[in-house]
Structure 1
Amino acid sequence: MRSDLQIQQDVQDELQWDAILKAAEIGVSVKNGIVTLSGTVDSYSKKIAAEEAVKRVKDVRAVAVDLAVVFPGTIDHKSDSSLASVALDALKWTSFVPEERIHLQVDNGNITLEGELEWQYQRDAAFNAVKNLQGVRSVINKLRIKPGPSAHIIKDNIWKALTRDANIEAKNIIVETRDRTIVLKGKVRSWSERSDVERAVWSTPGVLAVQDELTVSL
């Protein structure tokens, strides 16, 4: 296992590598493989990008994002009503999103999405449609997935999806079902494999929630 100092340097280098981020504005501290980001960014999408950059670094066990979204004084911050209008248009023009099923609220630049959809990819597409809009401070995704098959069938389909994915060591993963909530346990080799597992689970029809207890094996 590499030292916290080595991980810190790699995280700083990865933040510097990402063209949309200003790495000098982001503080990085590491303790026992747990990375904490602090400072300010000028958009919510940059906050998400910083977190994703950290997860690409080897030996990172967990990430705590303590980044504040602060808009520069030169930006004409949108009112909640105008931001809501722009966000609704963004959902409308995203082909994968059934915007008529989504209820959107905006409070001080914080967007909340609610409603019921058929698939996880629709939920992700709705989130991605609004996260990059100017004036967004955060996005709270409360969109639900419509109930589907029985828990037994869901678990079987998940296991088949995991075992046929070349990027996943399925033998190291335990899948538990609690009604239509999926609990993932075991170990993965990297954050990217963990993301692959989550994506495979969420792509399974009928999954309503995922509780990810997977650990990144060092």
Structure 2
Amino acid sequence: MFTLLTGLVLAASLAFSPPAGYSALPGSTPSDSDISRWVRFALTHDPRTDASYISVETRAGVVKLIGDVDNLAARNYAVAETKKINGVRGVIDEINVTPVSRSDRDLAHDIRRRLENSTAVDARNLVVAVHQGVVTLSGEAADWNEKEEARLLAEGIRGVKDVVDDVQLEYSDTISDERLTSESRARLARDVYLSDLPITVAVQNGEITLTGSVGNLYEKERAERSLLWQNGVKSVINNLKVEPRESYGVRDTVAVPSDQELKRNVEAELMTDLRLRPEEISVDAVAGHVMLFGSVPSLREKRIAEQDARDIVGTAWVTNQLIVYRTQRDDSAIRDQIVFNMGTDPYLSKFNIDVTVAEGVVTLVGDVPSLFEKERAAHLAIDVLGVGKVVNDLSVRGMLALRDDVLKRQVVQRLEQDWKIAWVYEHIRVDVTDDVVRLTGDVNTWSERQEAGRVALRTHGVLAVDNRLTVRGVPYPWDEWHSKMPGYFGLYDPYEIYYPYRREGS
């Protein structure tokens, strides 16, 4: 029988106590009731989702989400967050989207305008049709990245119920199967989340087949999406099995690459990422410190290059010195498009955000209720053609104030539940001062360090995360560099549905 949690659960009751029935420990398999409670806890404390009308059922590790949300992005966020819960083997999405009513004509107009003004999409060969709030995208895209970005932009428009993606891929280059096999294996091997997992890659006529096993749905989908971001890949058949392990991963010791190996791995990642034009990017690496120099044509590509570098095995931190040589555009046109993006966004349309632009530098001022809205506003600005920099002066106000000890308990609980951190959370110290979380201690892998920071930052009520976790056996010269860099780090994760933005417009 399914275990059921009704949708109308008060968030405040969860804020002050751990999920009832918590029993799973590292080395044991979480029960269905544990998984249901953890999913409910995660959705309730994630500002991107309104969990008031979502119920959770779990059977044999497969989670069914049932209920209603008022925008398509919220449904996608709920599904994505559920996949990251320890023990989840599958997700059945039965969430209905009931957005604000808007005419099909207005929706089609808004989507076309977003596509035409995006740094990520060439809209000339894309066709938009809308019927009763359901969007159909057709036409041609140069690669999978452009196809995916078009879909995400359409899903982010207020009033859209669903998106049907019928866009066809038209590749200009043909890559040999042998080269694709080699590059795909190397790409998985250097990824902090996928390194050393038992994944087999086979390629035939540009079509990649993945077999083997991973520990959770996030890894399965990350492997597929990562390979789709390569030139010449026509499709990926994902036959990876999700097999939660009694201990995470197969590696007992951390492989620490040399400076030259790390430099080469970062360069290879940048060169094979379809979202980038890396010809003018140079890389240096010293003792885990990766430095990016050169220039890119958009602020979005600058952020993607930094995240690519962060996600390489062996990267301790990244200094991003890339210069944006932006598309020249009138400041008033840039401002109009940013205001339009926010006005058509299901999360931000209700807030009064002041936007000013001077020589491509965007400044955002106003009040929003959580860090999520602050990051989202910056993301919507980053995506606009002609933007060279974003100064994010939005203030987070009106968020439920929690005592530091309560917020600390919430972060610890989420670390216990997370698929990647469950095995090492006892080695992580969490301290909270004035809604700012500091993480100290050591973990086994680079991905555990990344994930711990992400989980803390995604906890409702947290304003910033100071991630000082170290990877066991790897020296971190904190005193030499930490005080010289911005004190708090946002997490810019291209595998999220929307791209969070680094704090304070840095």
When normalised by structure 1's length, the TM-score is 0.88
Q: Sort the Cα spacing of 1:190 and 1:22 in 2 relative to 1 into closer, same or farther, 3 A.
A: farther
SS at match of 1:140: strand
Assess if the C-alpha contact under 8 Å between 1:187 and 1:216 holds in 2: yes
Measured after TM superposition, the shift of residue 95 of structure 1 is 1.3
**Higher deviation after alignment, 11-20 or 117-126:** 117-126
Distance in 2 of aligned mates of 1:189 and 1:10: 20
Distance in 2 of aligned mates of 1:176 and 1:151: 8
Distance in 2 of aligned mates of 1:145 and 1:170: 29
**Aligned position for 1:26:** 281
**Aligned position for 1:139:** 390
Q: Structure 1 segments of 4 or more deviating over 6 A? A: none
* Equivalent position to 1:123, from 374, 382, 389: 374
Q: Sort the Cα spacing of 1:98 and 1:162 in 2 relative to 1 into closer, same or farther, 3 A.
A: farther
Assess if the C-alpha contact under 8 Å between 1:145 and 1:206 holds in 2: no
**Aligned position for 1:210:** 465
1:2 aligns with 2:251: no
Assess if the C-alpha contact under 8 Å between 2:314 and 2:446 holds in 1: no
**Higher deviation after alignment, 207-216 or 18-27:** 207-216
Assess if the C-alpha contact under 8 Å between 2:362 and 2:389 holds in 1: yes
Q: Sort the Cα spacing of 1:213 and 1:101 in 2 relative to 1 into closer, same or farther, 3 A.
A: farther
1:187 aligns with 2:448: no
1:63 aligns with 2:318: yes
**Aligned position for 2:413:** 160
Structure with bigger gyration radius: 2
Number of residues paired by the alignment?
214
* Equivalent position to 1:197, from 433, 436, 452: 452
SS at match of 2:373: helix
Assess if the C-alpha contact under 8 Å between 2:331 and 2:360 holds in 1: yes
> Can you list the C-alpha shifts for 1:49-88, whole angstroms capped at 9, x where unaligned?
11011111100111111111113xxx4x222222111111
**Aligned position for 2:347:** 96
Distance in 2 of aligned mates of 1:208 and 1:137: 25
Distance in 1 of aligned mates of 2:442 and 2:368: 30
> Can you list the C-alpha shifts for 1:12-55, whole angstroms capped at 9, x where unaligned?
11001111212221111111121111111111111011101111
Assess if the C-alpha contact under 8 Å between 1:34 and 1:63 holds in 2: yes
1:53 aligns with 2:304: no
Amino acid at match of 2:357: V
**Aligned position for 1:149:** 402
Q: Sort the Cα spacing of 1:182 and 1:140 in 2 relative to 1 into closer, same or farther, 3 A.
A: same
Measured after TM superposition, the shift of residue 99 of structure 1 is 5.0
Q: Sort the Cα spacing of 1:96 and 1:190 in 2 relative to 1 into closer, same or farther, 3 A.
A: farther
Assess if the C-alpha contact under 8 Å between 1:55 and 1:191 holds in 2: no
> Can you list the C-alpha shifts for 1:161-213, whole angstroms capped at 9, x where unaligned?
11111111312221111122222222344554334323322332322332222
Distance in 1 of aligned mates of 2:375 and 2:446: 18
**Aligned position for 1:175:** 430
Q: Sort the Cα spacing of 1:55 and 1:189 in 2 relative to 1 into closer, same or farther, 3 A.
A: farther
Amino acid at match of 1:39: G
Assess if the C-alpha contact under 8 Å between 1:11 and 1:54 holds in 2: yes
Distance in 2 of aligned mates of 1:113 and 1:25: 30
Amino acid at match of 1:185: T
Distance in 1 of aligned mates of 2:351 and 2:259: 48
1:113 aligns with 2:364: yes
SS at match of 1:100: coil
Amino acid at match of 2:416: T
Distance in 2 of aligned mates of 1:123 and 1:189: 32
SS at match of 1:159: helix
Q: Sort the Cα spacing of 1:62 and 1:136 in 2 relative to 1 into closer, same or farther, 3 A.
A: same
Amino acid at match of 2:340: D
Q: Sort the Cα spacing of 1:210 and 1:98 in 2 relative to 1 into closer, same or farther, 3 A.
A: farther
Assess if the C-alpha contact under 8 Å between 2:365 and 2:392 holds in 1: yes
Q: Sort the Cα spacing of 1:80 and 1:216 in 2 relative to 1 into closer, same or farther, 3 A.
A: farther
1:78 aligns with 2:333: no
SS at match of 1:143: strand
Assess if the C-alpha contact under 8 Å between 2:351 and 2:367 holds in 1: no
When normalised by structure 2's length, the TM-score is 0.40
Unaligned runs of 5+ in 2: 1-255, 475-506
RMSD: 2.0
**Higher deviation after alignment, 123-132 or 86-95:** 123-132
